[in-house]
Each structure stands twice: as structure tokens, then as C-alpha cells.
Structure 1
């Protein structure tokens, strides 16, 4: 795992540098805020680079890879996140986020009822944060169903 951590860390540094390069080409209008639209991608890239440097310089000792049921759970989580990425545009933010957060909460170890409540709470809370507080143009529900 030591070698794997170092390889992954190096690859993520290259990806983060590409992200910075891509973010540097974001066009700014004359009416943008003083910080500009590039600062958030730069901050994300900086965190990725710092985390990747830690993986390269201080990798974890060798660990056993997951097997059997754990691989199936990881596959389910991956499928849920890919489905979430495809569903968020046509279905809005709240429904896909509720489902994805609920399934992943259930996988972490919650019972299904509490996971569903957590998923709904997370979806509504994040929607309020993004739409109301941050003022992003986020579609909450599918077209024609409301906000």
C-alpha cells in the first residue's frame, strides 16, 4: 500500500495542477466580486495538493484490501454517486440528494428510517444553504414542480 499511496498522491498532484490550469482560464466579467470566480477552484486544488503531498511523503503502512461484501458496498456507493450525478439535472437537487445521502447513510450503519430522515435533512439543509444563503441558481425540484 505504501507504493499505491505514493502513486495515487502523485497522480492527484498532477490532476490538481490540471485543475488549476483549467480554472485559470475562467473568464471574469467587469461586474464580478473582488475575489473573483477562480478562488474557489484554487482553494480546492490547494487542499488536494496538500493532501496528496502527505500521501507521497508519509504513506500508510501496508493494509489488506477489502474483499467480498465490502467491495459490493463500495460498488453500490459508486453506483449511487454516478446515478446522483446524472439525476441532479433532470430531477433537481432535493430528490436525488435525499436518495444518495440516505443510501450512503444507511451504508455507514444507520437503520433505514434514520438514514432516510438524515438524507432528507441533508438535502433540504444544503438546498437552503446553497439557494437562500449563498444565492446560487440551484433548481430544487424537477421543472414545473415548484422552486
Structure 2
């Protein structure tokens, strides 16, 4: 019952936020897809997931285990820290740090998590900045880049 109540509430919230996001306009063209594509995509995916839980909640009615709840809470805190540190540290470092911690959180080994985190930060920055022409903050690494 609680799962369906949560799903219905989340679906309404996603619909309201989609209406708000539809009005996003940029005063100048800073990226090719515009400011509303990413929020609408995320809201569409969350809305589809909420609709699925509303129709067929499945095994989620069972009791949640404490380790799984703690891991979920830590995951949310890591993503919150990622959002807060994004401008200060820059895209590469904040993405690498979040990827590393999330990898460890989901039982990854130390060295593979560190290597994949660094690759993720650098390669995603190259993809967005060089290929998609989306400007991303460099943060503390800006001192090492020539203007």
C-alpha cells in the first residue's frame, strides 16, 4: 500500500515538474539541445518508473533490510555531495570522486574503482566538452589549463 501511495505522489510530482521544466528557456544558445531536454528526460524516466510501481508494485511490499536502506541513504548523500561540489571541484574531480565512492559503496574493489572513476571523469568531460560542445566547469583544475 505504501509503495503505491509513494508512486502516485511521485508521479504527480514528476508531472508538475515537467510542466515547470517545459518553460525553461535560455537567453542565449549555450548548448545544442537546450536547457529543458535533460530535466524532461529524467522526469519522463522517473514518471515511467512511478507508473510501473503504481500498476505492479511486486515484491517491494516486503520489509526493507537495514543494510539496503543504509546503502540507499549513503547513495543519496553521495549524489547530494556531487551536486554541491560540482562547481567548486569541477566536473572531472567531482565525477571521479562520486564514481569512486559509489563503486566502493556497491562492493567494488579499491583499485578498479579508482581507475574507472578517473577514466569516467576524464572521458565524460571529453565527450561533453569536445564532442557535444557543452561547457562544463573545471573547478580547481582550471589553474592547470591554458586559456
Q: 1:33 to 1:112 in 2, by over 3 A?
A: closer
Unaligned residue ranges in structure 2 (runs of 5+): none
Describe the SS at the equivalent of 2:43.
helix
Match of 1:118 in 2: 116
Q: Is the 8 A contact 1:92 1:139 kept in 2?
A: yes
Q: TM-score, normalised by structure 1?
A: 0.81
- 1:90 and 1:35 map into 2 onto residues whose CA distance is 25
Please report how far the alpha carbon of residue 25 of structure 1 lies from its aligned counterpart in structure 2 after TM superposition.
1.8
- Please tell me whether the aligned partners of residues 5 and 60 of structure 1 are also in contact (alpha carbons under 8 angstroms): no
**What are the within-5 Å matches in structure 2 for residues 1-147 of structure 1?**
3-27=1-25, 37-61=35-59, 62-67=61-66, 69-142=67-140, 143-146=142-145
Q: How many residues align?
A: 144
Unpaired segments of 5 or more residues in structure 1? Answer: none
**Cα distance between partner residues in 1 of 2:77 and 2:39:** 26
Shift of residue 122, structure 1, vs aligned partner = 1.2
- RMSD of aligned alpha carbons: 2.6
Report the secondary structure of 1:144's partner residue: helix
Instruction: Provide closer, same or farther for how the CA distance between residues 113 and 35 of structure 1 changes in structure 2, counting only shifts above 3 A.
Output: closer
SS at match of 2:82: helix
Higher relative contact order, chain-length normalized (CA < 8 Å, sep 6+): 2
